[in-house]
Amino acid sequence: MEHPEQKLQEKLRKFLASRLKPEIVWMASANGGYRDPHTAISLKSMGVLPGAPDLCFCLDNGRTGWIELKAPGGKLSPQQKGVAARLIRLNHFWGVAHSIKEAVDIMRPWDVFKAEADLNEPQEIEEAEAW
């Protein structure tokens, strides 16, 4: 079974590995994917939040940025829309990306990239891997 959002997240992780400032802390959430009922109950009891964005970035000055990744044509679930609205109301940065380029465009104002980072490459990576 193909998982296009997982593939996008893996490509984005590789892209960011050499381009983010070293002080930026970021992580993926444990949401998404199929879970057997026992694991789902266990995760829910530990506080896994339905609709939580895929990626969290801890930024300068106590700021936080969140990105929800979607396959091309993918739509936000009602839970994702609700979490996004709450994060935005709390003045967090939030965005949804369907490609590496969209994720980079969301992150540019966050000042997370090294000065020398080549940010023109995302489109080329995606086009090459589409073949």
With a cut of 90, say whether residue 37 has pLDDT above it.
Answer: no
Report how far residue 78's alpha carbon sits from residue 57's, in angstroms, rounded to the nearest whole number.
Answer: 23
Report how far residue 64's alpha carbon sits from residue 3's, in angstroms, rounded to the nearest whole number.
Answer: 27
What range defines the domain where residue 72 resides? 4-130
pTM here is: 0.84
Report how far residue 43's alpha carbon sits from residue 89's, in angstroms, rounded to the nearest whole number.
Answer: 26
Residue 78, C-beta contacts closer than 8 angstroms, at least 6 positions apart: 51
- In one-letter notation, the amino acid at residue 74 is G
Percent of the chain with pLDDT over 90: 67
Domain count, the chain: 1
pLDDT digits (tens, 9 = 90+) for 71-130: 999 999 999 999 999 999 999 999 999 999 999 999 999 999 999 999 986 655 554 454
Look up the CATH number of the domain holding residue 113: 3.40.1350.10
Residue 128, C-beta contacts closer than 8 angstroms, at least 6 positions apart: none
CA angle 46, 70, 130 (to 5 degrees): 130
